[in-house]
Structure 1
Amino acid sequence: MNAFDIAQLRLANHQLTAPRFTHPAEVAAWFGAIQAQDYAQAKWALGIRVPGATEETIEQAFADKSVVRTSLLRGTLHVVAAADIRWLLTLVGPRRIAACATLYKKEALDDATFDLCKDLLINSLQGGNQLTREELSSVFGQAGIEATGFRLSHIIQRAAFSQLLCYGTRRGASPTFTLLDEWIAPSRPLSREEALAELAKRYFTSHGPATLPDFAWWSGLTLKEAKQGLELNKSVLVCETLDGETYWLSPATTAPQPPNPDTQILAGFDEYVLGYRNRSICLPEAYTRQVITVNGIFNPTIVQNGRVLGTWARMHKKDSVVVTKKLFGPVSQATDQEIQTAAERYSHFVRKPLVVAENGFAAQGF
């Protein structure tokens, strides 16, 4: 197996060249968790993996509560299938709370304050209420608790890690928060060993071929915990070696030859680029800073045959979407046409015609 083979297998497992699902919740469950700090980008990360999907498809999945957004792996926002949220939070939540102890102390947030915040959240959100960040800040402020900026973020995130609240529906452009137990029906709990095994299985199935350090980084688990999760799955996984590294994947994986389509425009923070400690398979080191900023923002990417060719950006106007590409270097006319086709798929997703921009794409309706 070489780097090209790994890239083709990853494309297939990421549901980019061999999509097999028809509903966003199926995609979320396949991955276990999908990075989602940017809501619009998260919708496209789901939508590109559901053939024919539009933004309305994804919005409906959030509205019908089959998928949910919350703070999860590595303390960042993710989209998960509703049936998975509790066992995932049970597995990673306590560690994330412990990891934030210094940050809590810096913001003068002690256990007594968190207990009071918990009571205020329950009282203000129970009965199906959904409040914005600003409204929650007001609730805390009226009780004499300063809750703005990072301090408010820590209070909300701690409540999410504690399985108290999650994101609800959006009110215009503003996200809301609601009580998890009122939003999502109870699901069967997993033991810690079962949860470790399940998360490892989903990661290596959806992200494979991948290494143990990749899984440990992505999950936020300790290397010991990640290794335990892998050990529990070795009977259902296979491994390949490249440059002294061992890569694990499901034996059921088959990559289309050649990939179809072989050029995609991916969301910012897309799991295909983000979901590994070592990203050299897809991202040339020389261009890392063009894709990943110094403050950890993952820009949307243009990918061909599993390799990042450049980045892209979109601007929504009233009756159109302007998509602009920034390539790392010259490409063939055929590749340029494939990028155009990929951009047209995005324009279909947002239900707006694509228009010409500098270094952009030709206009086309749908």
Structure 2
Amino acid sequence: MPTRPTFDDDQRRARLARRHRLAPGTAADRAEQVVADLVAVHATDPATVFLAVAARLAVPGVADTERALYADGTVLRRHGPRKTLFAIPAELGPALYASTTAKAGAAERTRLLKDFAASGRDAAWTSAAQDAVLAALTDALADAPDGLTGSQLSELVPQLRETIDYGIGTSYQTVQPVGMRLLRLLGMEGAVVRRRPLGGWTSSRHRWVPGPPVPAAPSAAERAAAQAELARRWLASYGPAGEQDLAWWTGWGVREVRAALAACAAVEVGLADGATGFVLPDDLEPVAEPAPWAALLPALDPSVMGWKDRDWYLSPGHRSELADRSGNLGPTAWWNGRVVGGWGRHPDGEVRFELLSDPGPEARAALAAKVAALRALLAETRVTPRFRTPLERRLTG
């Protein structure tokens, strides 16, 4: 029986550097190239999309990402893996919807109807509110082609200003605005889409416009084919990786993960810790070690959030400083494929970073240069991650 190939941690770090466009000579010219190579970029925090792309552009900036998102529509914000909002290549939209979002949206609608009913609003009331939202957005397009904010919509659709009691009788009982829940659901289903926000590129006050016709629920075969396509794209950028990594990244069940890996003919390989990983069948050859590289990446960057098992690039001893209580990673400083510290934007305007291990004088100088470049990129823009971590709080306190 032939011995299965083994990928050590150095090879995995080399692949990360090259395929995530962090190694010297791999920077992209356009935002679409970055997003395609990362497959999906966290968009829960608006700043993540712009800073993740800028870190990988030959000429760092935010204008090209704004073009792709708002002018050309070649990058879209969509709910996807783990019901989280991501920026994705437009061409990935159908596969993401069929593989992941349709099922998540159906479950979200069931929960919403249950929660609304508990507050005395039945399915007919919800349907009427939804129709009113879509009509208001359609009517507004002539005068507001960039769409309406949630606040503006609430002025036109009074139902959105109402509230529901959530978690009645539990320790987390609270009051939720109808608008927040309904717009999230419609956005997940694709009936409405986010456009350019009010304010700058870090703003989360997005305008909404009507979306394209919502696709029919995928059949089992269509869902399986879409999952195979998403798994193939993910392995091309993140492999070798284990079943648990793909399950965590997508939010799929173990059976779905295994079926998707089989459908894209993924090959079993060994990892340095003795675990089993997978790569695509044409991706068994090693890649060349890149030249030394440094990077400052934003909170929730795909290169730090792309795997469940992270010991090969993130020391377990550093996690308590760099992660919040839910495991979301904050801003990170990298040297040669390892996270060596973190950074934050202080109120005085300075970008400060702290090393959690000393990678040596070459790394310190390279990271100092990255700090200067990031400071120039941010100019007067204040960036505060939505998910705060101990090190980021200390650097910005």
Q: TM-score band (shorter)? A: 0.7 to 0.9
* Residue aligning to 1:338: 366
Q: Does 1:95 align with 2:103?
A: yes
Note the 1:243-282 alignment, pairs <5 A.
Answer: 243-250=273-280, 251-252=282-283, 255-257=287-289, 259-282=290-313
* Residue aligning to 1:162: 189
Q: State the aligned residue count.
A: 345
Measure how far apart 1:110 and its partner are: 5.5
* Residue aligning to 2:387: none
* Residue aligning to 2:147: 130
Judge conservation of contact 1:11–1:272 (CA < 8 Å) in 2.
no
Judge conservation of contact 1:71–1:157 (CA < 8 Å) in 2.
no
- Once residues 202 and 316 of structure 1 are traced to their aligned partners in structure 2, the CA distance between those partners, rounded to angstroms, is 39
Measure how far apart 1:153 and its partner are: 3.1
What is the identity, as a one-letter code, of the residue corresponding to 1:117? A
- Once residues 143 and 41 of structure 1 are traced to their aligned partners in structure 2, the CA distance between those partners, rounded to angstroms, is 29
Name which of 260, 269, 274 aligns with 1:239: 269
Judge conservation of contact 2:99–2:224 (CA < 8 Å) in 1.
no
Measure how far apart 1:346 and its partner are: 2.3
Deviates further, 97-106 or 274-283: 97-106
Q: Does 1:2 align with 2:11?
A: no
Note the 1:244-323 alignment, pairs <5 A.
Answer: 244-250=274-280, 251-252=282-283, 255-257=287-289, 259-315=290-346, 321-323=349-351
Q: Does 1:105 align with 2:114?
A: yes
Judge conservation of contact 1:10–1:209 (CA < 8 Å) in 2.
no
Measure how far apart 1:106 and its partner are: 4.0
Measure how far apart 1:215 and its partner are: 0.8
Note the 1:324-335 alignment, pairs <5 A.
Answer: 324-335=352-363
Structure 2 unmatched ranges of 5 or more: 1-6, 165-174, 382-393
SS at match of 1:279: coil
Measure how far apart 1:302 and its partner are: 0.5
* Residue aligning to 2:4: none
Measure how far apart 1:269 and its partner are: 0.2
Name which of 56, 65, 86 aligns with 1:58: 65
* Residue aligning to 1:40: 47
Note the 1:180-259 alignment, pairs <5 A.
Answer: 180-181=211-212, 191-234=222-265, 239-250=269-280, 251-252=282-283, 255-257=287-289, 259=290
Measure how far apart 1:21 and its partner are: 3.7
Q: Percent identity?
A: 22
Judge conservation of contact 2:351–2:374 (CA < 8 Å) in 1.
no
What is the identity, as a one-letter code, of the residue corresponding to 1:169? R
Deviates further, 243-252 or 108-117: 108-117
Judge conservation of contact 1:287–1:328 (CA < 8 Å) in 2.
yes
Measure how far apart 1:216 and its partner are: 1.2
Q: CA RMSD in A?
A: 3.0
Measure how far apart 1:112 and its partner are: 3.3
Query: CA distance change for structure 1 residues 106 and 54 in 2, over 3 Å: closer, same or farther?
Result: same
Measure how far apart 1:30 and its partner are: 2.9
Judge conservation of contact 1:54–1:348 (CA < 8 Å) in 2.
no
Query: CA distance change for structure 1 residues 308 and 150 in 2, over 3 Å: closer, same or farther?
Result: farther
Query: CA distance change for structure 1 residues 305 and 20 in 2, over 3 Å: closer, same or farther?
Result: closer
What is the identity, as a one-letter code, of the residue corresponding to 1:125? L
- Once residues 207 and 114 of structure 1 are traced to their aligned partners in structure 2, the CA distance between those partners, rounded to angstroms, is 41
Judge conservation of contact 2:136–2:157 (CA < 8 Å) in 1.
no
Q: Does 1:31 align with 2:38?
A: yes
Judge conservation of contact 2:162–2:178 (CA < 8 Å) in 1.
no
Deviates further, 321-330 or 218-227: 321-330
- Once residues 24 and 38 of structure 1 are traced to their aligned partners in structure 2, the CA distance between those partners, rounded to angstroms, is 17
Judge conservation of contact 2:31–2:57 (CA < 8 Å) in 1.
yes
Judge conservation of contact 2:322–2:329 (CA < 8 Å) in 1.
yes
SS at match of 1:70: strand
- Once residues 144 and 328 of structure 1 are traced to their aligned partners in structure 2, the CA distance between those partners, rounded to angstroms, is 47
Deviation digits for residues 182-208 of structure 1 (CA, Å, limit 9, x no counterpart): 9x9xxxx99323311210011111112
- Once residues 278 and 332 of structure 2 are traced to their aligned partners in structure 1, the CA distance between those partners, rounded to angstroms, is 25
* Residue aligning to 2:94: 86
Structure 1 unmatched ranges of 5 or more: 354-358, 361-366
- Once residues 360 and 41 of structure 2 are traced to their aligned partners in structure 1, the CA distance between those partners, rounded to angstroms, is 33
Q: Which has the larger radius of gyration?
A: 2
Query: CA distance change for structure 1 residues 106 and 291 in 2, over 3 Å: closer, same or farther?
Result: farther
Judge conservation of contact 1:209–1:249 (CA < 8 Å) in 2.
yes
SS at match of 1:244: coil
- Once residues 112 and 160 of structure 2 are traced to their aligned partners in structure 1, the CA distance between those partners, rounded to angstroms, is 22
- Once residues 349 and 215 of structure 1 are traced to their aligned partners in structure 2, the CA distance between those partners, rounded to angstroms, is 33
Measure how far apart 1:322 and its partner are: 1.5
State TM-score, norm by structure 1.
Answer: 0.83
Deviation digits for residues 311-366 of structure 1 (CA, Å, limit 9, x no counterpart): 1012477xxx511112214443222101112223324544679xxxxx99xxxxxx
What is the identity, as a one-letter code, of the residue corresponding to 2:147? Q
